Chains A and B, each alone.
Chain A
Amino acid sequence: MGLADIHDPPLVEIEEGTKILPPNLILTTVNKVVNWSRLSSLWPMTFGLACCAIEMMTAGSSHYDLDRLGIIFRASPRQSDCLIVAGTITKKIAPVVRRVYDQMPEPRYVIAMGSCACTGGIFNTYSTVQGADLFLPVDVYIPGCPPRPEAFIEGLVKLQEKIRREQYRWSYWR
């Protein structure tokens, strides 16, 4: 490498906002790195409430393989960053759902899976919460009764895209 090359390094732009200096230097923004690392290791909380949980488990099986997206189910709210509300929320379980969400550290995301979690579904009754968004900030809604694993994975990919677009969520913001 000659002197001229150091002052005018051969930066290669591999995508918008990300440049590499061969062999092993990468220049990019903190936003991009943080968002990329978050969306690449999304650990959902295992929280099944009804029949949708069966589809959620199926999506995690080797046939559909969530691990390839970096999604690994985590059995503790303290170590997970995505709450998948899979199934009917009854009023009796709602305080528990809220508590699980409150125990999760920031950044945290919520996916409402299935018609019941989105709107209450067919259960417009005294005992059923008419949608998880009444008491949780839902990021992605996945309709279906229950949604197929493909739809569920699509929802997770949508959440990843949403995380990719975030700005300054790593900074001090509250």
Chain B
Amino acid sequence: MEPLEIAEKIKEKFPDEVVEVTSFRDQVSVIVKKHKIIKICRYLHDDANLYFDYLADLCGADHLNKKEPRFEVVYHLYSMRHRHRIRLKAQVPEDDPRIDTVTSIWAGANWHERECHDLFGIVFRGHPDLRRVLLPEDWEGYPLRKDYPVKGPEKEWSGFQEVLDKAKQFKEFGWKG
């Protein structure tokens, strides 16, 4: 099925949820509201003509000072049976950065959602194990947000500060040649 046809089908099925359909170089994105994301994904997954059985990627996006609402969660879907693709973008506002998890539909979304939570601070409701996946567990802040300083905050992460202190302390025992 052509991507634009898929977008039309989603629009027909969920007329109130679809905000916009954009197309760039034959890649179609469907921008949706976040409230019925599970229902939309379930429909895309289960419908025999769509059958999106593979979640190729799940990531976040931050549109600080460029778009409202600020965040997006992006779902890249692929159907192995029909060999077609679609991209879903769910809008997530800054004051309530929560969205339902899709792990019940694609189990592989587990770590993707953890990564998105780790780097953007988006909370996935109903996620079985929502911990940080890349950064240390006691890290402060969400580095892929646009207002996060590139070189990190002034205060060094406590784990690395410990290493620096230890190195300083052990220096006197080293060989001075």
Contact = CB atoms under 8 A, between A and B. Distances in A.
B162 A137 contact: no
Given A127-B135, A137-B171, A173-B175, A95 B163 contact: yes
Main secondary structure, interface of B, reads loop
Contacts of A92: 135-136, 159
Given A92-B135, A92-B136, A98-B166, A129 B160 contact: yes
Nearest to A124: B151
Interface residues of A, dominant DSSP: loop
Contacts of A98: 163, 166-167
Interface string B12-41: 000000000000000000000000000000
B150 interface: yes
A158 interface: no
Contacts of B166: 98, 135
A173 B173 CA distance: 9
Contacts of A134: 164, 167
Nearest to A168: B177
B126 interface: no
A162 B135 CA distance: 38
Contacts, number: 51
B160 A91 contact: yes
Nearest to A169: B175
Contacts of B159: 91-92, 94-95
A125 interface: yes
Nearest to B159: A95
Interface residues of A, number: 22
A161 interface: no
Interface in B73-97: none
B169 to A, nearest CB: 11
Contacts of B148: 126
A53 to B, nearest CB: 20
B151 A125 contact: yes
B167 A135 contact: yes
Contacts of A106: 175
A127 to B, nearest CB: 7
Contact of B177 (A94, A135, A166): A166
A67 interface: no
Given A95-B159, A126-B151, A174 B173 contact: yes
Interface in B151-177: 151-153, 157, 159-160, 162-164, 166-167, 170-171, 173-175, 177
27 contacts: A91-B136, A91-B159, A91-B160, A92-B135, A92-B136, A94-B159, A95-B160, A98-B167, A102-B170, A106-B175, A107-B175, A124-B151, A125-B150, A125-B151, A126-B150, A126-B152, A127-B143, A129-B160, A134-B164, A134-B167, A135-B163, A135-B167, A136-B167, A137-B171, A137-B174, A167-B177, A169-B175
Interface of A: 91-92, 94-95, 98, 102, 106-107, 124-127, 129, 134-137, 166-167, 169, 173-174
Interface of B: 135-136, 143, 148-153, 157, 159-160, 162-164, 166-167, 170-171, 173-175, 177
Given A91-B157, A95-B163, A135-B166, 5 more contacts: A102-B170, A125-B150, A126-B143, A126-B153, A129-B160
